[in-house]
């Protein structure tokens, strides 16, 4: 078969027509080269791109890329991107001076994107920067990498790569990062990944004098500037990795008009628009879906609460990773910079079995340092009561429950309006609350079970039972020590008097044992005498209570105010009280 005469510049050679077509298709032969081949051009030379038979080869992606790189087009889109990033920074500074913190709602991460329902954050985060230094460090590499990508893929291809980088960064940041992220470094890494992707995709179609910019050698320059960021503080490695692989993936897959056949460009542009819209809609749709159930991304499988007092919660790993304190209460935040938190606490009460909302209100006013407005709400679980306490700029939801002498408290705190997804996420954690035996009670019971003949072990176990409100069991063990003659009979009796003075209707408080021990007890034993007065007053036996008070008159061991407080409504005439 006749060979085709090829002329590239001043050089001439001969190629088989099929070899010529393949070289042209792979971009190794410039479309501007001239050929003379009788079946195609007759006796004259003609440019390869004008020959109808070679149209499919000229329109091959590699050939189109090679022709575009040879022309060295001006990077208008990259220039516009850099200009817009600079303008966005100054707009951010201007708005922040007026109290509008864009980074709080515009950052991409679990807390902002999901809990704050900021579904747009995957697209706003790259346009926000922490400070001028942050922008200055990102801009040069972003400009260089985007310039290289735009030279091959054009404006639409560059936009698709940057959208892929933003999506890749969001897909890693939202489920796995403890911190939200802002900054255009994810775009820079995406364009950097796209450079390698284009090198792998186009290979020898890239002109030899530009090939190093799309191969492994480009990593020498880029790694020098970009890799140190992996070890710098407050730098999101996940954003860089996600952006890199997002840009790489899109560069291997996208078909912009610069690589598509010259015929049917309208359909190619429509397809590119559809790809851009799809990349835009995907993270927004996922964020909206996951905001309705944040536990899908952060399961409640980590222990929390106050286990030593038997108050247990199930927390997300993010909260378990950031424990802290909220005005003296144990608390857990989603992130280190959160302005809201879950809290849990357990305290002993002055008046067992009483849940006083006014005391809770006073407690929050003391902790927050300002007045609060209470409002009772339906509790999340049966057996609990719930309120909100609203201050000027802060709000607390608390659910409380009293068991014996101990109050258990759980809830959330926020410094601003609580977004519905965050509130649902916190409530899901609060619904996991459960009460169990405290570690102290378990330990005291185990020690007593091993040494049931040891009075100290029995006393300590009974005291632990009393603390958690298991009064009948406590009284039963205390009463078992009354036959001893080593001093523990008096210790247990004092504990029984104290317990029955606050809970006189308990079955174990009835009987003649009170009068028997009052006869045995010395007058100076105020730990029996004073509780006995309270006990008699609670039963309405004022005369006997006043008689007991008169017996204490003049004793130096007795505080008159304590006896007066014990008498309460049965208070004797002023002159009858001990002084």
Domain count, the chain: 4
Cβ neighbourhood burial of 432 (10 Å; 0-12, 13-18, 19+): middle
Residues 223 and 372 in one domain: no
Residues 324 and 425 in one domain: yes
Q: Which domain holds residue 263?
A: 76-291
Residues 163 and 187 in one domain: yes
Task: State pTM to two decimals.
Answer: 0.75
Structural domain ending residue among the three candidates 291, 308, 323: 291
Those residues with Cβ within 8 angstroms of residue 110's Cβ, 6 or more apart along the chain or in another chain: 173, 174, 175, 177, 180, 294, 297, 298, 318, 334, 335
Residues 119 and 239 in one domain: yes
Instruction: Convert the pLDDT of each residue in 333-392 to its tens digit.
Output: 998 888 899 999 988 776 666 788 898 999 999 999 999 999 999 999 998 999 999 998
Per-residue pLDDT of the chain (579 residues; tens, 9 = 90+): 578 888 888 788 888 888 888 888 888 888 888 888 888 888 888 888 888 888 888 888 888 888 888 888 888 999 999 999 999 999 988 888 887 777 777 899 999 899 988 888 889 999 999 889 889 988 988 999 999 999 888 898 999 999 999 999 999 999 998 888 999 999 999 999 999 898 888 887 887 777 777 877 667 766 666 566 555 566 788 999 999 999 999 999 888 877 777 777 778 788 888 888 888 888 888 888 888 889 988 999 999 998 888 899 999 999 999 998 888 899 999 988 888 999 999 887 766 667 888 989 999 999 999 999 999 999 999 989 999 999 988 999 999 998 877 889 999 999 888 889 999 999 999 999 998 887 788 889 899 988 888 999 999 999 988 877 788 899 999 999 998 889 999 999 999 999 998 888 888 998 889 999 998 888 888 899 899 998 999 888 898 888 888 888 878 878 888 888 888 888 755 444 444
Contacts by 483-490, CB closer than 8 A, 24 or more apart? 484/455, 486/455, 488/455, 488/456, 488/459, 490/525
Q: For position 538, which CATH number holds?
A: 1.25.40
Instruction: Convert the pLDDT of each residue in 57-80 to its tens digit.
Output: 888 888 888 888 888 888 899 999
Contact 297, 410 (CB under 8 A): no
In-domain check, residue 503: yes
In-domain check, residue 70: no
* Token couple for 546: 């006043």
Residues 528 and 555 in one domain: yes
Instruction: Convert the pLDDT of each residue in 458-510 to its tens digit.
Output: 999 999 888 777 888 999 999 999 988 899 999 999 999 999 988 888 889 98
């Amino acid at each position: 078969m006749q060979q085709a005469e090829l002329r590239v510049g001043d050089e001439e050679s001969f190629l088989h027509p099929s070899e010529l077509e393949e070289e042209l298709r792979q971009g190794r032969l410039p479309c501007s080269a001239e050929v003379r081949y009788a079946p195609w051009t007759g006796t004259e030379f003609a440019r390869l791109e004008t020959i109808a038979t070679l149209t499919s080869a000229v329109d091959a992606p590699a050939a189109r890329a090679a022709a575009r790189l040879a022309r060295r087009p001006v990077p208008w889109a990259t220039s516009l991107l850099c200009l817009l990033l600079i303008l966005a920074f100054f707009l951010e500074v201007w708005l922040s001076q007026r109290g509008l913190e864009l980074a709080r709602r515009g950052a991409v991460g679990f807390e902002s994107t999901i809990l704050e329902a900021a579904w747009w954050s995957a697209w706003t985060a790259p346009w926000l920067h922490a400070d001028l230094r942050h922008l200055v460090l990102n801009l040069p590499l972003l400009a260089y990498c985007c310039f290289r990508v735009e030279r091959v893929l054009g404006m639409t291809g560059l936009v698709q790569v940057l959208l892929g980088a933003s999506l890749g960064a969001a897909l890693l940041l939202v489920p796995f990062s403890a911190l939200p992220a802002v900054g255009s470094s994810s775009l820079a890494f995406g364009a950097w990944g796209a450079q390698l992707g284009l090198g792998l995709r186009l290979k020898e179609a890239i002109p030899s004098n530009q090939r190093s910019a799309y191969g492994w050698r480009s990593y020498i320059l880029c790694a020098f500037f970009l890799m140190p960021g992996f070890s710098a503080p407050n730098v999101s490695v996940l954003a860089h990795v996600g952006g890199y692989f997002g840009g790489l993936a899109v560069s291997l897959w996208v078909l912009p008009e610069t690589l598509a056949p010259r015929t049917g460009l309208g359909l190619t542009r429509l397809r590119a628009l559809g790809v851009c819209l799809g990349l835009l809609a995907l993270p927004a749709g996922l964020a909206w879906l996951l905001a309705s159930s944040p536990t899908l991304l952060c399961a409640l499988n980590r222990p929390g609460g106050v286990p030593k007092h038997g108050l247990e919660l199930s927390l997300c790993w993010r909260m378990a990773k950031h424990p802290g304190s909220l005005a003296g209460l144990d608390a857990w935040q989603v992130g280190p910079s959160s302005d809201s938190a879950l809290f849990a606490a357990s305290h002993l009460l002055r008046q067992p079995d009483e849940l006083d909302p006014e005391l809770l209100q006073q407690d929050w006013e003391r902790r927050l340092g300002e007045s609060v407005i209470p409002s009772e709400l339906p509790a999340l679980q049966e057996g609990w009561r719930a309120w909100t306490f609203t201050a000027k700029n802060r709000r607390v939801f608390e659910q409380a429950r009293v068991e014996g002498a101990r109050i258990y408290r759980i809830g959330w705190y926020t410094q601003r309006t609580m977004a519905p997804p965050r509130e649902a996420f916190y409530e899901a954690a609060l619904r996991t609350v459960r009460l169990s035996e405290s570690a102290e009670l378990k330990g005291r019971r185990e020690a007593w079970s091993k040494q049931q003949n040891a009075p100290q072990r029995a006393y300590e176990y009974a005291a632990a039972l009393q603390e958690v409100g298991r009064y009948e069991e406590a009284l039963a063990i205390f009463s078992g020590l009354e036959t001893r003659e080593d001093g523990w009979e008096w210790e247990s009796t004092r504990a029984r008097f104290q317990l029955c003075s606050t809970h006189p209707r308990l079955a174990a408080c009835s009987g003649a044992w009170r009068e028997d021990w009052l006869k045995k007890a010395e007058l100076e034993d105020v730990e029996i005498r004073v509780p006995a007065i309270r006990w008699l007053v609670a039963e309405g036996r004022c005369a006997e209570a006043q008689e007991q008070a008169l017996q204490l008159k003049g004793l130096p061991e007795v505080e008159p105010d304590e006896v007066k407080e014990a008498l309460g409504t049965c208070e004797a005439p002023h002159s009858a009280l001990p002084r």
